[in-house]
Structure formats: structure tokens, C-alpha cells
Amino acid sequence: MVIYIHIPFCIQKCHYCDFLSAPCDAGIRERYVECLIREIEYYGEWYGMRGRNIPVTSIFFGGGTPSILESNQIQSIMDKLKTTYSIEKNAEITMECNPGTVTEEKLSGYRVTGINRLSIGLQSANNAELKSIGRIHTYEQFLNSYDMARKCGFKNINVDLMSALPGQTLESYRNTIEKVLDVKPEHISAYSLILEEGTPLYERIEQLEEQKMPTGLPDEDTEREMYYMTERMLKDAGYERYEISNYARTGYECKHNTAYWRRDDYLGMGIGAASCIDDVRMKNITDIGAYMDIYEKIDTRDDVLQKDVSERNIMEDNALDKDETDVLSDEDKMEEFMFLGLRMMRGISKKEFERQFNVKYDMVYGAVTAKLIKEGLIEASDDNDSLWLTPLGIDVSNMVLSQFIVT
């Protein structure tokens, strides 16, 4: 099992961001951390050492900007996780952070708590491009934060990049990649900008289009060349592409995300966090006020906390802060197996499909797979067990993956 901790705070909302995050004062942040600790303990009654004692292979602090929290707050969260769950000795423990939100003191404190991997949101090495999407940092602040992280002992760092930004050119994007390669991170995630409806950037672009004015966005051909440029430059620099948007040096693939793509169990805590345990998918409520109200009153639920674990009904008792709960059907699970597995360059195994679902792969997906192989979108191994997307299939991956909806 892997654990996700959602920290919904940021200094300023980026113009493209539709994540569950917002600026909040120090008082709200402290209340939230206290409630999060109570949630960690609460669900430990089912999945932790007092419950099923499931080994935890990875913990991921995402947001928002988790590094907005003080090191003592992260320490409190980690202390509760360590005493509540069976965390493996070599577990990967990642924190997302933004340049300009960390200090040597904070980073040293994070290291002491057990954080052993950082994911730094650079996005671009061009300050004008950063400003155009509402990032609050500069490239120089990224370098300073990165150098501090190395000085504080972090030996596993991911850097996030974005392409197809307003005002971005092939030359400026190439320069961003070169500058990132210069600092030699262990992992690079590279995404193309997606305009999400309701965000300030979406509304700005929409308004410019209505006025028939230039949007500054790269055209489709330029965006596609940026995509190919990423793959070429990172491959030449020794990074292996192991998932559609992720590249790593040997041995530094993100264990946490890989667990999602393999459909391992995951437990999410904090507002809006998703979980899937034993093929029961759940999502937490998104209202921070309601969330804190629940966990500030948790002591009134001693009748639940003191019940023997074996007597609990997960679907009834476990719904304390859940906005959605859904039991996955066999069709749901098969679709996820294909959607997620084919995102990885190594693809999926027919034998593993048959082991998990007790049905022959070809009975479910034989016809669509043969069609996609004929079209050059999927390739099969010599023994016809493994299947993966071809370069052309990756280019149109959304279309390819949509073919695996069970009818």
C-alpha cells in the first residue's frame, strides 16, 4: 500500500491550476495539520498496525505546496504515520515543493523527519514564461532551492517541467531542458500545459480568442515538436522514459506513481484525497471547514475507535469524511488495468491480466488488441505476452486507451 497526504495550501494560486488548493493563514494551516493527524490515526484503525498491518512502501506529500508547512508540522505528521502504519525501512517518502518556499532549516528538518525525495516545481527556466502562468518564483530561486536541497543531503530529486506555455518557443523550451540537465536531477516529469476550464488562464485565452487576438500559445506543430524534443534530449542525457510523461536515471523511477499504474492499494488523507483499498474507491470531502469540523470532534466517536477491527464494516464505518464511495466492478478493474498499465513503457502482461481477473485476455480484449497492433499503435513481445504502446500509439494515447472500455 502507498499513502498520499494532501496539503491544500499555497502562497498564490497559479493561473493554470485547478487543483484543490488555496492560500490560507497560519492558524488554518495549524488546525488542518492537527485534523490530518487525527485522520491518519482514524484510518490506521483499519489499515495500520492496530488494523490489518499492511506494509507501506511509499508516502507522498502533494498539494498545493506542502513545503509551505514548517518542518515541525511535517515532523508531527510523520511521527503519527510512523507510529500508526507499518512503513517499510526503504520506503520512498516524497514531498512536493516550490522554489522560494524552502530554507536550509526547513529542508534539514524535512530530512530528519524521513523525507528522502523532493519533487520541485520549476516548470520553466524562463522568468517571463513563469510570470505568464502565475508562478511566484524565478529560475534563480529554483537554482537556490535546488542547491540547498543537495546541501541538506537530498539524493533523489525530481524536477517538473511544462511545455506549450504562453510565449514559449522551441528555443526557450530547449534552453529550459538544457538548464535542468545541467543540475542533473535523478528524475524529470514533463507535461504539456492543459487549459482547464474555470482557471484564470483559460478565461484569459478564451477572451483573446473571442477578440481574435494572439494568445501567445505555441501552435500545434510547435507543441508537438516540444514533445519530441523532450524525449530526444532526455534520452541523450541518459534518462529512461518509463511512463508517458516521466523520465528517470536507472533506479530512480518514482515508486509512488508506479504503484498507482500497477493498481496497488492506495490510501489518501486530507481534503479531496482519493483512496482505493481492496477495489473500493473512495474520495474525501473537499470542504476544508467541514473536514476540520469532523476531526475536531473525533473524540466523540470513541464507540467507533474502540470497536474491534474485525467487527467493522468498511463501507459503513469508514465513511466518516468520504464524499464518494464506489465498489469497482470487474469491468472497472479491467479497464484500469489497461488504462494505467499502458501508460508505462513496459506495458501490460496478458498472464498478469489473467491471474488477476481469472479470464482469458483474448476473450475480453483480443479483437481490439489485434486491431491496434495492425494499425501500428500497440506492439507485442515475441512470446505474445507483453503489450505496449508504439511511438505512434503514445502520440495518440488518449484515443488508444479509450478503446479498452469494456462493452
Q: Which CATH architecture has domain 330-402?
A: Orthogonal Bundle (1.10)
Using the predicted structure, report yes or no on whether residue 47 has a pLDDT greater than 90.
Answer: no
DSSP output for 125-184: S-HHHHHHTT----HHHHHHHHHHHHHTT---EEEEEEES-TT--HHHHHHHHHHHHHH-
* Residue 105 pLDDT greater than 50, yes or no: yes
Average per-residue pLDDT for the chain: 91
Which run of H or of E encompasses 398? helix 397-402
The boundaries of every CATH 3.80.30.20 domain in the chain are 2-261
| pLDDT at position 306 over 70 | no
- Angstrom distance (rounded) from CA 318 to CA 293: 17
Q: What is the mean pLDDT of residues 238-262?
A: 96
Share of the chain above pLDDT 90, in %: 76
Contact 287, 280 (CB under 8 A): no
Quickly count: other Cβ atoms within 10 Å of residue 268's Cβ: 21
Closest CA to 279 of 264, 293, 268, 292: 264
pLDDT of 390 above 70 = yes
**CATH number 3.40.50.10860 is the correct assignment for the domain at 2-261:** no
Exposed/middle/buried for residue 202 (C-beta within 10 Å: 0-12, 13-18, 19+): middle
Q: What's the pLDDT score for residue 5? A: 98
The pLDDT-based confidence of 229 (bands split at 50, 70, 90) is very high
* pTM score: 0.92
Task: Tell me how far apart the alpha carbons of residues 43 and 267 are, in angstroms, rounded to a whole number.
Answer: 9
Query: What is the location of CATH 1.10.10.10 in the chain?
Result: 330-402
pLDDT at 312: 41
For residues 11 and 101, the model is more confident at 101
